[in-house]
Structure 1
Amino acid sequence: MSLSLDRELAKATPVIQLRPDSHAAPEAELPMQVIRRNGTVSRFDASKISVAMTKAFLAVEGHTAAASRRVHEVVEQLTAEVVTALSRRMSEGRTFHIEDVQDQVELALMRSEHHKVARAYVLYRDERTRQRAEQEAVKPQAGPQFNVTLANGSKVPLDNARLALIANEACAGLEGVDAAAVLAETHRNLYDGISQDELALASVMAARTLVEQEPNYAYVSARLLLDKLRTEVLSYVEGTPANASQADMATRYAEYFPAYIRTGIKAELLDADLARFDLPRLAAALKPERDLSFQFLGLQTLYDRYFLHERGNRIELPQAFFMRVAMGLAVREIDREARAIEFYNLLSSFDFMASTPTLFNSGTLRPQLSSCFLTTVADDLDGIFKSVKDNALLAKYSGGLGNDWTRVRGLGAHIKGTNGESQGVVPFLKVANDTAIAVNQGGKRKGAVCAYLETWHIDIEEFLDLRKNTGDDRRRTHDMNTANWVPDLFMQRVAADGEWTLFSPDETPDLHDLYGKPFAERYAFYEAKAARGEIRVFKQVRATDLWRKMLTMLFETGHPWITFKDPCNLRSPQRHAGVIHSSNLCTEITLNTSDDETAVCNLGSINLLNHIKDGALDEIRLKNTTMTAMRILDNVIDINFYTIPEARRSNLRHRPVGLGLMGFQDALQAMRIAIASDAAVAFADTSMEAISYYAISASVNLAAERGKYPSFEGSLWSQGILPIDSIELLADARGGLDMDRSSTRDWASLRARVRTIGMRNSNVMAIAPTATISNICGVAQSIEPGYQNLYVKSNMSGDFTVVNEFLVRDLKARGLWDEVMVNDLKYFDGSVGSIDRIPDDLKALYATAFEIDSAWLIEAASRRQKWIDQAQSLNLYIANPSGKKLDALYRLAWTRGLKTTYYLRSRSATHVEKSTLKGTDGKLNAVTSVSMMSAGSTVNVSSAVTAPDLTTVMACSIDNPDCEACQ
């Protein structure tokens, strides 16, 4: 076969105009250039891709007329896909190496399953590489001399010595990495006249190409990006061009920090109160060496979305960022410098990380630091549109929203003012959906809201259909999350295969505020009224039929999630002060809402991996972390910028916080514990018990120092009922509960302190998803199992190769880590289960989310739930779904006393790309990417009466780059 893709791509000819329906961007939007192997630059020409691929197809499939017509259509589509893929990673003036383009061609062929053509193409590339190597071996080795184009247009010779210095610094102290390899790959992407910005990115991209071979290159990439950041920040803040190595920052940080504060205040980015701190003292406390702790995904995320910038120029370096956040959190402390340093040390060590809104806004002019807001929507136009307006105001500064819509009357209900009939709740949900998109949290991330509806609402069946891609689009909410708020009585009717009656809330208004036995009694009363014809709008259905549809739509669309009303209310410490009508955007917050109070929660998460020492939980470090973290979260309440008065009133009256955790999977692997094991369940229990004990103790200490929260009297806390005790309240209401009650600590003494001294916070614990802050810290999200051991993660900063460094360490120790293993992991979608040469103990330890039974996740969550006064964002995974499995899974969650569940995850259509190309990642060089969109998969439908009838359906994708919330 004769192929000449490299030569075709390198020729400079007019750019082909693709058809209007092509996915490729117009030429005016694609200022691409291609670096040839001799270092010269040519204008990118998409037509050369078409020509080369056509030759490849015809060489494999023949030259018949029919084949030619089909090949023409396929090639046109594939060419468009390649151009789109390249444009995704393009920054201004982006230039690609010819092999980058060829990598995308290979990837497009593999994705489209033209395996024979792809295989022939791969073999051709290998052969051409060998030929070039032979030719180069007989040539003189003197390399080209390049010039660099400065911002003012002038050119200076490339400083090879500094390039080598930065590469060597980036690799220092890391095993398995080689600065020479980084430099060689960097030089491959250079050309004469390269801009300063592209030069800075060239080394970053070079290191990223090596991540899948050695995970430590993720640290190398981060350090190289750090050099680009240093140049950008120091030049802008100091007003003159500046280069600084990591070694230089030992002294430069102290000089830069006061100037940064002044610059931020002058630009109206920072609160002027920060200038009143003892800046030299804080600058001396900065630890420049902690800049080296980032992996590339973490630093790139901060670079793109968190660091403050003025007119596109970043002004924050990492340690200044953490100190700015700490200063904002300590601004009302008596010895605020000491507290700021204490908070800084906790954040910059990654022992604890505050939530995204806190990181975004602490120390700024609008310090909206809270994560979650919960509202209840009234049943009138003023109330409905006030709630929509409140959503917009709360979302503007990065808050995630949970709305309870159960009070809004249903379809067909009477409207007294107009003597007409209601259109139900769905049209208003559409308005809320569009508002969330319009108000995109300051351009930093998409607005995010979740609507909740109780299972007895007459519109529940339409509510279940909201996320479908078929039907009347005016009654669909494609961008809004939805969740079922399920009373225990419904689950009991499902178990008994009984009838279930749907009502409109204008005729049954008190059901909204009732739970437990009072709800069951009042519900039966309304059913009797309906039977007598005394209720106008109602519908009777078989409970198991509605349960089938709930689970079917959950699997088909990923929504609505399943959350349980009664456990949330019966175990709530604040049941004396109101009712919990919904959870939040991510199902971990359970707080009261009313017309007068919008519930607010303030989140942060402990990095559990950092608290494992010698294979066990480091109690001293965990206690210290928890005590400081609780002080930080309590400070948020007083410092916070409130956009609506109902949020301020609620937060100051109850002072709830949500201390959670992340890195649970990493901690297990550090202790050599498989997640699907009794030992993992036991560790979930003991680790959460420790966090609970220290968090409650910290709140008592704060109460002694600052006073108990205003609504303390009458709470479960005031009665000496702690989370471990409130289990009995749920058990009594249900007539029994299959939930573990064991404990290991001195709860009696703490219980006495709580009653005598009080609590500073009405609620202290909640486990959020931590989707972004765990990336910053370089650990697994929240309580999640490992998704894959080698995969490409997508988020708003781009696509990133992620490799399980624990697995690589173990494989190296056993002499099993090599290029063949990398290819095997890619072929088997990051799973070790199908790779014969991996020992069974490692297969168990590194089993991925879809290889384990999600029942293990529920058992571990149940053990945690007994210690938590709120809830946890619990994702469930199902590899080979069936109605019977889903039914069993969600019934188990209910019987084990869980308050909420979150996403149901299914396998996506495409995982790690099965190609021979060297994987790269990132917004700047997205050569390898992965489709994370779920695809339909046929399931085996159980004939059991309680099993949902599932056909070809889809669940939520595992790693939606737009799905970022309580982080």
Structure 2
Amino acid sequence: MVDNKSQIEHSISQVRKRDGSVSDFNRDKILNAIYKAFSASNKPDKELAIKLADGVLIKLTEHGFSANNPPSVESIQDLVESTLIDQGHSDIAKSYILYRHERRKVREEKMKVLNTKKLDSVGKSFDINCLRVMASRYLFRDNKNEITEKPTELFERVAILVSISDLIRDNYLFTKDGGISQNIEEAAEYLKKLDDFNYKFKIGSYHLNKWHFRCLINCYLDLAKQGMMKVSFKELLTMLASKKFDAYADRISEYYGLMTSQDFLPNSPTMMNAGGRLGQLSACFVLGMPDDMQSIMKTTSDAALIFKSGGGVGINYSDLRDEGEIVASTSGVASGPVSFMNIINTVTEVVKQGGKRRGANMGIMEVWHPDIEKFITNKTEPGVLENFNVSVGVWKDFWDILVNSEDGKYTLRSPKDNSSAGEINAHHLIDLIAQSAWKSAEPGLIF
């Protein structure tokens, strides 16, 4: 029987998959499917599963399948069903049929989510919830909002772009010592003709699209301006075309594998933009907010553009004068930092991040600001600043008073001229921070 089984396995070397591709035949997959059916019926029996798997192999040859006529996945599963029934295991066959039905439903749902008729390797291995997030946020779409790339293509474009920074620092190209002059203008000219280089070059089997090529140019220009490029950009392209850097395909494959195994995933802007027109990979930008209306609105505009590109922002609001402070130009009173945080919060809500998700903010106020109590307690009410995480900047002078002073008196200062704006009890303030954090998980502390 063992010899017969071995001969059968040797004669059937491949299996035709649902997408039409062919892969190596693996008897263990039949065995595992049968064993799972037994386990689902609370009758786990490994020895019986092995015997039935051998029976399926025999039926495959009886039905004319061979090395020249590989069976399909569906054919194998049909024979598993018939073998279970023929051997008197109709209850197990029922479990197996239900298992096939559920798997079919999952496949169909995945294909619907990805807008495809065939699942690639990532589509098969990732669960449906992962694919929903991928489709809604990360996969490229056309001007009709139709998905235009497969999950494997997403991870390939990311892996290629990330690996370019390694390639450009290859010993043939790069020296950290500097002092080498290259024709920067000649290299920059390539930026004007990106379409001519779309998929023209490759690293191993990985083709560079025009946005990868743009990244290569920009990396070169950045290092060439520092005198760190040993060769001209034209020489670099000659070396690339002659497969001088094909070893970096292993780096690309390694990074690709880390992502597709879900051992590591980069931040959302990288998933959204790497290898694409925008090319914005940063998740967080620090913006200033000086205390004048023009600067405040400029920061608001900058934040909106960052949200659109897929990034988030961090702003220290401590320079804004406190609520009720006189505004000399209008003889009115200032509305305070928290009111301007509400403006940024509204902009965040309106401008979906990268057109795919809502943005995020980090808001900071330093502990000496006269509006610090309002800042600390503002998020204890539901629905307030929902697009913000907030933190209090707590510096050494505050800690010294908190630890060493019995009365705990801490001087608040005006952002306008640094003059005294009253006192607050440091012990009361730290208690207020703790109570608010317990109630709403905000604020954090920066010190």
User: Taking structure 2 as the reference length, what is the TM-score of the superposition?
Assistant: 0.55
Query: 2:290 aligns to what?
Result: 378
User: Is the CA contact 1:466–1:478 (under 8 Å) kept in the aligned structure 2?
Assistant: no
**1:313–1:417 CA distance, 2 compared to 1 (3 A):** closer
Counterparts of 1:180 and 1:231, CA distance in 2: 30
1:185 deviation in Å? 5.4
Query: 1:432 aligns to what?
Result: 344
1:323 deviation in Å? 1.1
Q: Does 1:538 align with 2:447?
A: no
Query: 2:363 aligns to what?
Result: 451
Query: 2:416 aligns to what?
Result: 506
Counterparts of 1:303 and 1:231, CA distance in 2: 6
1:231 deviation in Å? 8.6
User: Is the CA contact 1:379–1:407 (under 8 Å) kept in the aligned structure 2?
Assistant: yes
Instruction: Pick from 380, 385, 389 the counterpart of residue 481 of structure 1.
Output: 389
Instruction: Pick from 299, 311, 320 the counterpart of residue 408 of structure 1.
Output: 320
Query: 1:609 aligns to what?
Result: none
User: Is the CA contact 1:355–1:371 (under 8 Å) kept in the aligned structure 2?
Assistant: yes
1:445 deviation in Å? 1.5
1:203 deviation in Å? 2.5
Query: 1:556 aligns to what?
Result: 439
| Amino acid corresponding to residue 348 of structure 1 in structure 2 | G
**Number of aligned positions between the proteins:** 283
Structure 2 SS opposite 1:309: coil
Query: 2:148 aligns to what?
Result: 315
User: Is the CA contact 1:436–1:447 (under 8 Å) kept in the aligned structure 2?
Assistant: yes
Note the 1:353-392 alignment, pairs <5 A: 353-392=265-304
Structure 1 SS opposite 2:334: strand
**1:160–1:367 CA distance, 2 compared to 1 (3 A):** closer
User: Is the CA contact 1:372–1:400 (under 8 Å) kept in the aligned structure 2?
Assistant: yes
Query: 2:134 aligns to what?
Result: 302
User: Is the CA contact 1:465–1:553 (under 8 Å) kept in the aligned structure 2?
Assistant: yes
Counterparts of 1:400 and 1:500, CA distance in 2: 33
| Residues 679-732 of structure 1, C-alpha deviations (whole Å, 9 max, x = no match) | xxxxxxxxxxxxxxxxxxxxxxxxxxxxxxxxxxxxxxxxxxxxxxxxxxxxxx
Identity of aligned residues (%): 26
| Amino acid corresponding to residue 360 of structure 2 in structure 1 | A
Query: 1:194 aligns to what?
Result: none
Instruction: Pick from 196, 199, 203 the counterpart of residue 105 of structure 2.
Output: 203
Structure 1 SS opposite 2:343: helix
**1:230–1:552 CA distance, 2 compared to 1 (3 A):** closer
User: Is the CA contact 1:326–1:340 (under 8 Å) kept in the aligned structure 2?
Assistant: no
**1:368–1:183 CA distance, 2 compared to 1 (3 A):** farther
Instruction: Pick from 451, 463, 468 the counterpart of residue 380 of structure 2.
Output: 468
| Amino acid corresponding to residue 322 of structure 1 in structure 2 | F
**1:179–1:228 CA distance, 2 compared to 1 (3 A):** farther
| Residues 187-215 of structure 1, C-alpha deviations (whole Å, 9 max, x = no match) | 5x8xxxxxxxxxxx8622xxxxxxxxxxx
Query: 2:98 aligns to what?
Result: 184
Query: 1:327 aligns to what?
Result: 160
Structure with more relative contact order (C-alpha pairs < 8 Å, separation 6 or more): 1
| Residues 23-49 of structure 1, C-alpha deviations (whole Å, 9 max, x = no match) | xxxxxxxxxxxxxxxxxxxxxxxxxxx
Structure 2 SS opposite 1:450: strand
Structure 1 SS opposite 2:344: helix
| Amino acid corresponding to residue 502 of structure 1 in structure 2 | L
Note the 1:34-73 alignment, pairs <5 A: none
Mean alpha-carbon deviation: is it higher for 542-551 or for 305-314? 305-314
Counterparts of 2:114 and 2:133, CA distance in 1: 18
Counterparts of 2:271 and 2:440, CA distance in 1: 32
Counterparts of 2:132 and 2:76, CA distance in 1: 20
**1:423–1:185 CA distance, 2 compared to 1 (3 A):** same
1:481 deviation in Å? 2.0
**1:315–1:407 CA distance, 2 compared to 1 (3 A):** same
- Structure 1: gaps spanning 5 or more residues: 1-158, 169-177, 190-200, 205-223, 236-242, 250-287, 509-534, 565-967
Structure 1 SS opposite 2:282: coil
Coordinate RMSD, CA, aligned: 3.5
User: Taking structure 1 as the reference length, what is the TM-score of the superposition?
Assistant: 0.27
**1:364–1:341 CA distance, 2 compared to 1 (3 A):** farther
Counterparts of 2:115 and 2:325, CA distance in 1: 61
User: Is the CA contact 2:411–2:424 (under 8 Å) kept in the aligned structure 1?
Assistant: yes
| Amino acid corresponding to residue 342 of structure 1 in structure 2 | R
User: Is the CA contact 2:326–2:334 (under 8 Å) kept in the aligned structure 1?
Assistant: yes
Note the 1:752-901 alignment, pairs <5 A: none
1:296 deviation in Å? 4.8
Counterparts of 1:482 and 1:182, CA distance in 2: 53
Counterparts of 2:321 and 2:334, CA distance in 1: 7
User: Is the CA contact 2:114–2:131 (under 8 Å) kept in the aligned structure 1?
Assistant: no
Counterparts of 1:394 and 1:302, CA distance in 2: 21
User: Is the CA contact 2:159–2:255 (under 8 Å) kept in the aligned structure 1?
Assistant: no
Structure 2 SS opposite 1:538: strand
1:300 deviation in Å? 4.1
| Amino acid corresponding to residue 560 of structure 1 in structure 2 | P
Counterparts of 1:422 and 1:393, CA distance in 2: 26
Counterparts of 1:387 and 1:183, CA distance in 2: 60
Structure 1 SS opposite 2:379: coil
User: Is the CA contact 2:267–2:283 (under 8 Å) kept in the aligned structure 1?
Assistant: yes
Structure 2 SS opposite 1:320: helix
| Residues 442-461 of structure 1, C-alpha deviations (whole Å, 9 max, x = no match) | 33211111210000000101
Structure 1 SS opposite 2:265: strand
Counterparts of 2:375 and 2:387, CA distance in 1: 14
Greater Rg, structure 1 or structure 2? 2
Note the 1:679-698 alignment, pairs <5 A: none
**1:348–1:182 CA distance, 2 compared to 1 (3 A):** farther
Counterparts of 1:483 and 1:403, CA distance in 2: 10
| Residues 137-160 of structure 1, C-alpha deviations (whole Å, 9 max, x = no match) | xxxxxxxxxxxxxxxxxxxxxx99
Counterparts of 1:357 and 1:326, CA distance in 2: 14
Counterparts of 1:420 and 1:494, CA distance in 2: 36
1:380 deviation in Å? 0.5
User: Is the CA contact 2:110–2:128 (under 8 Å) kept in the aligned structure 1?
Assistant: no
Query: 2:35 aligns to what?
Result: none
1:499 deviation in Å? 1.1
1:338 deviation in Å? 5.1
Structure 2 SS opposite 1:407: coil
Note the 1:729-740 alignment, pairs <5 A: none
Q: Does 1:490 align with 2:398?
A: yes
User: Is the CA contact 1:230–1:317 (under 8 Å) kept in the aligned structure 2?
Assistant: no
Q: Which of the pair is proportionally richer in helix? A: 2
**1:231–1:388 CA distance, 2 compared to 1 (3 A):** closer
User: Is the CA contact 2:326–2:332 (under 8 Å) kept in the aligned structure 1?
Assistant: yes
| Residues 580-603 of structure 1, C-alpha deviations (whole Å, 9 max, x = no match) | xxxxxxxxxxxxxxxxxxxxxxxx
| Residues 639-686 of structure 1, C-alpha deviations (whole Å, 9 max, x = no match) | xxxxxxxxxxxxxxxxxxxxxxxxxxxxxxxxxxxxxxxxxxxxxxxx
1:356 deviation in Å? 1.2
- Structure 2: gaps spanning 5 or more residues: 1-71, 82-91, 165-211, 217-235
